[in-house]
Amino acid sequence: MTALMTDLKRLSSMRAPDGFAERVLIEVGMADSYARFGTVLGNVYVAWNRFGVSAAARSASAAEFEDWFGQDVGRPLVAAEPPADLAEKIADELNGKRTMRFDLRGLTEFEQAVLRKTYQIPRGEVRPYGWVAREIRRPAAVRAVGTALANNPIPYFIPCHRVVRTDGEIGNYGGGGPEAKKAILTMEGVRVNRLQELARAGVRYQGVKTTKIFCYPTCHTGRHALEKNIVWLHDEASARAAGFRPCKVCRPAAVA
């Protein structure tokens, strides 16, 4: 008994190896790892855990990213060597290829639905907040959609920059403000100035005479239509009155 007590005292006095506690927390999903990655957007800090990527930001320093993560996500964060394939997945996502898994724990069911739907918007295209609300079957929750996107912890990869105001204006952006939003959309091939001109003219949709389909101006299905076959439309009512039906790809209106 005395020998056992001596062994227990010796074990209790032993110091755990450096980083042991952090590794345990990471293993059970209570802490995240992070690293800085060079991307087409510049340096981006990315956090991940065994469930997927949990956060991203173009912070000025590692300390700034850690502070932001602690306040917004609320878990410990540990600098680490990234998985071998993470840099490739980051490049894929920024090029429009969906390969990432995401950790959305801590977000409400509504917020998760908003982000999952936003993730489906193709590269080089935009949708209004009202579209996201309708797609997740919460058509009256347009303002709440905007709030959820403003608090998106994984911008760039869950592309909240592809969601614009209902009137077609670019709107704000939690990943760096309107100018950053315009820059990212331009990089993706969106003609931002043209989009803004259409918005100011009250144009919401593009109709194609040869197909009798109307869609959002950035939808890839109408991108190669000849100018002479394009009709600019102000709203759904005028589109339907002119004999156009909504695109089944970008779904500018409910499709029967």
Asked if residue 182 has pLDDT above 50, the reply is yes
Asked if residue 22 has pLDDT above 60, the reply is no
Asked if residue 21 has pLDDT above 60, the reply is no
pLDDT in tens, 113-141: 999 999 999 999 999 999 999 999 999 99
Query: Which residue did the predictor score with more confidence, 210 or 254?
Result: 210
Q: How would residue 28 be classed by pLDDT, with cut points 50, 70 and 90?
A: very low
163-164 and 127-128 as β-strands: parallel, antiparallel, unpaired? Answer: parallel
Q: What is the largest CA-CA distance in the chain?
A: 95
* pLDDT (0 to 100) of residue 223: 82
pLDDT in tens, 191-217: 999 999 999 999 999 999 999 999 999
Q: How would residue 176 be classed by pLDDT, with cut points 50, 70 and 90?
A: confident
Q: Is residue 160 flagged as an active site residue? A: yes
What is this structure's pTM? Answer: 0.86
- Per-residue pLDDT, averaged over 48-77, amounts to 94
Q: Please pick, among 160, 215, 219, 247, the residue that the annotation labels catalytic.
A: 160
Question: Which domains, from first to last, does the chain contain?
Answer: 28-84 (no CATH), 107-197 (1.10.10.10), 203-256 (3.40.10.10)
Which residues lie across from 26 on neighbouring strands?
Answer: none
Asked if residue 81 has pLDDT above 70, the reply is yes
Phi-psi region of 171 (alpha: psi -120 to 50; beta: other; left: phi over 0): left
Asked if residue 2 has pLDDT above 70, the reply is no
What is the chain's mean pLDDT, rounded?
89
- Per-residue pLDDT, averaged over 71-92, amounts to 94
Backbone angles phi, psi at 49, to 5 degrees: -150, -170
* pLDDT (0 to 100) of residue 162: 97
Q: How would residue 20 be classed by pLDDT, with cut points 50, 70 and 90?
A: very low
Q: Are 60 and 30 in contact (CB under 8 A)?
A: no
* pLDDT (0 to 100) of residue 30: 73
